[in-house]
Structure 1
């Protein structure tokens, strides 16, 4: 798979960066609406079906297959959220068919202004192209294959072409209403342990450090540019009915300081590749019964506990998580050890797990507390279901006491 990124980042004030980005992205969106560009060469970055052409698909999919070419294609199932999503069905010439090139693809793009503001200003636009270009093929996990990715920081345009899991594996994507059984939970954490072990303290983390951000860097960027703290506090009010009373009555200053400390702790080694957004909605079940992870937009590097805790606390019903969490953690650690990693001992791992519940709780408060410029990333009922699960984990595991507020400094308040 090829990946391309271009552009530079600003270091101005938050308000100035927001203004510059809104003008720049707005101008590009307007220009594209008035005169839609047609992608013809591999370096172009189309963002919708009208811009994709047979020539461009041939350039990005057939470059290493002599004589192969895309003869025709159709675009289906356009949906929109944090990104715009398309399904492409392709036909090839004889050389392309003989090369067994994919005839159904899933595309993710930043077609909309709000998507470009969210991913561009958050510096996450390169995450999924980078994962598929540099990391995916290095590990045998249940996750989609990638075929092409490109991002342009200046315009906020991006596209990833990947395996259509519904077509190739009969995948069903999970929601908080999906019942995750004990064997399925073990499959999820075993899958995670596989890529964590593969990249455990790997030199490749440094090699790709320009786009494999640390958790604290990523979320300070969000707080600086889109008022993470303020939106999360709004979310706590909107979700109050599903938050346990002990946590609901706790000062939000204390909760946010603990969140900041937990994110700082997630920067500490041993480091590995993080999915970064491994909640239940980004998992799927194949027709063969395997559990996998999709949507690698926020791929990062950091502590294993960041990923592990996010998946376990969002995927499992509260009672199941309470009943299984110690056994599941032991199972995960055993899988790390079996892969040749010097895994943490159980007590240290348990403490790390307790400390990392704050991120999944806060980020879903932020999601339901979104402002006008933030796209609706998840339906409210999904947000409330995950908040209820993660909030109960914060309380059950006494996470505020476990992390405290002395291991990091809360990101500055913005927009107050």
Structure 2
């Protein structure tokens, strides 16, 4: 641990490390208390490693296994609040890694999940952070940013779609009392097909660096109201609306989303640090945002249809929010306007 902390706390020597909390799920996570025999450093650190069993298989199949360690190891600046990385060790042959990182609760961070939604003002903070991140990498490629040449461009794959399609029916069944008729009446093929169309539509916008999994469960609120983002395992290159729609819809109650979403989308677009001619128009931005509900709906119905991946109350709350947005924002009609002739494979 002394070696891990040396880059940020030179001269410090760790005297004792004690396990405070361990949580093995999608990944293996642990919080450790740290005391020092010389110098000073953080009282706690957070460690993350690759998951086991079916979690590892899914991350391998989805291309997500090494995204977070590669991102932190790259040194690429991330102009949105996120945990500082002290040390990254990657073992590709063993399909494993470990990241020693900041425990953001040491800064008073309040990690959130769907059972504790944000206020519209907090969501506005998060959107301004995403705008800084997206602006920094707007239009980037492996040539403009060689340190990020490994980042995959968002694309729908049959491996991802097949996993969704398998679990969505169970998710619909479990959420039957919370989902609108327009969602309950659709087959898994239809819902995953709309997810597919949305992911493919991301190629129409200038690519940027996406967090890729910016739902509320990967966020925290700081004492000053700013919002940070955890778990960069699904980092991708693609259109901005995937981060914005996924974060905004899932982080607010349905009532707050209805009342504030138009202003919040405008807040994000206005915060982009881009020349006027490169900034998406309000009309185009609203259309892309409307279409984005197809992504969260399929993902959280699938998650609701699994056991042991997320708490049931969390999955239910998010399926309800994305389902309501899907209907109220007329997401399918928005997709038709984005890609009116899109066809997608639906069979394994």
TM-score by length of 2: 0.90
Structure 1 residues 381 and 124, CA gap change in structure 2 (3 angstroms)? same
> How far apart are the structure 1 equivalents of 2:180 and 2:51?
39
Asked if residue 73 in structure 1 is aligned to residue 17 in structure 2, the reply is yes
Matched, 1:410 2:348: no
- Within a 5 Å distance, the mapping from 1:20-99 to structure 2 comes to 57-62=1-6, 69-94=13-38, 97=39
Distance in 1 separating the partners of 2:240 and 2:10: 42
After superposing the two structures, state which structure 1 stretch, 270-279 or 284-293, moved more: 284-293
Q: 1:139: how far off?
A: 3.6
Q: Is the 8 A contact 1:126 1:211 kept in 2?
A: no
Matched-pair contact (CA < 8 Å) for 1:193–1:332: yes
1:27 aligned partner: none
Cα deviation for residue 165 of structure 1 reads: 0.8
Of stretches 81-90 and 114-123 in structure 1, the one that deviates more from structure 2 is 114-123
Q: For 2:241, which of 298, 305, 311 is the aligned residue?
A: 305
Shift of 1:255: 2.6
SS at match of 1:158: strand
Deviation at 1:72, TM superposition (A): 2.7
Correspondence list, 1:14-413, <5 A: 57-62=1-6, 69-94=13-38, 97=39, 101-110=41-50, 112-134=52-74, 138-167=77-106, 169-203=107-141, 207=146, 211-217=150-156, 219-223=157-161, 227-337=163-273, 342-370=278-306, 376-404=308-336, 406=340, 408-413=342-347
Q: Which ranges in structure 2 are unaligned for 5 or more consecutive residues?
A: none
Q: TM-score, normalised by structure 1?
A: 0.76
Instruction: Give the whole-Å Cα distance in 1 for the aligned partners of 2:328 and 2:41.
Output: 49
Shift of 1:220: 3.7
Question: How has the CA–CA distance of structure 1 residues 246 and 163 changed in structure 2, closer, same or farther, with 3 Å as cutoff?
Answer: same
What's the RMSD between the two structures over aligned residues? 2.5
Question: What is the Cα deviation at residue 314 of structure 1?
Answer: 0.4
How far apart, CA to CA, are the structure 1 residues paired with 2:311 and 2:341?
34
Cα shift readout 1:201-240 (whole Å, capped 9, x = no counterpart): 12457635664222225x544235xx32121233222222
In structure 1, what is the Cα distance between the partners aligned to 2:182 and 2:7?
59
1:188·1:291 contact (CA, 8 Å) conserved in 2? Answer: yes
Aligned-residue offset at 1:194? 0.9
Name the CA distance, whole Å, in 2 between partners of 1:200 and 1:403: 23
Counterpart contact for 1:265–1:407, Cα < 8 Å? no
Q: Is the 8 A contact 2:164 2:192 kept in 1?
A: no
Change (3 A) 1:203 1:135: farther
SS in 2 for 1:241: coil
Q: Is the deviation greater in 267-276 or in 69-78?
A: 69-78
Deviations 1:368-402 (A, max 9, x none): 122xxxx7221111101000000111100111122
* Contact 1:174/1:283, CA 8 A, preserved across alignment: yes
1:294-317 deviations in Å (ceiling 9; x for gaps): 111111110000100000110111
Deviation per CA, 1:325-384: give whole Å up to 9, x if none: 1111111111004788821001111111111110111001111122xxxx7221111101
User: SS of the counterpart of 1:267?
Assistant: helix
Contact 1:272 1:303 (C-alpha < 8 Å) held by counterparts: yes
- Deviation larger for 81-90 or 321-330: 81-90
**Number of residues of Structure 1 aligned to a counterpart in Structure 2:** 345
Give the Cα–Cα distance (whole angstroms) in 2 for the partners of residues 395 and 145 of structure 1.
39
- Distance verdict in 2 for CA 1:87–1:66, change over 3 Å: closer
Distance 1:140 1:257, change over 3 A: closer
Question: Structure 1 stretch 201-210 or stretch 157-166: which is displaced more?
Answer: 201-210
Q: Any runs of at least 4 consecutive aligned residues in structure 1 with deviations exceeding 6 A, and if so which?
A: 63-67, 338-341
**Contact 2:32–2:45 under 8 Å retained in 1:** yes
Contact 2:8-2:86 within 8 A present in 1 as well: no
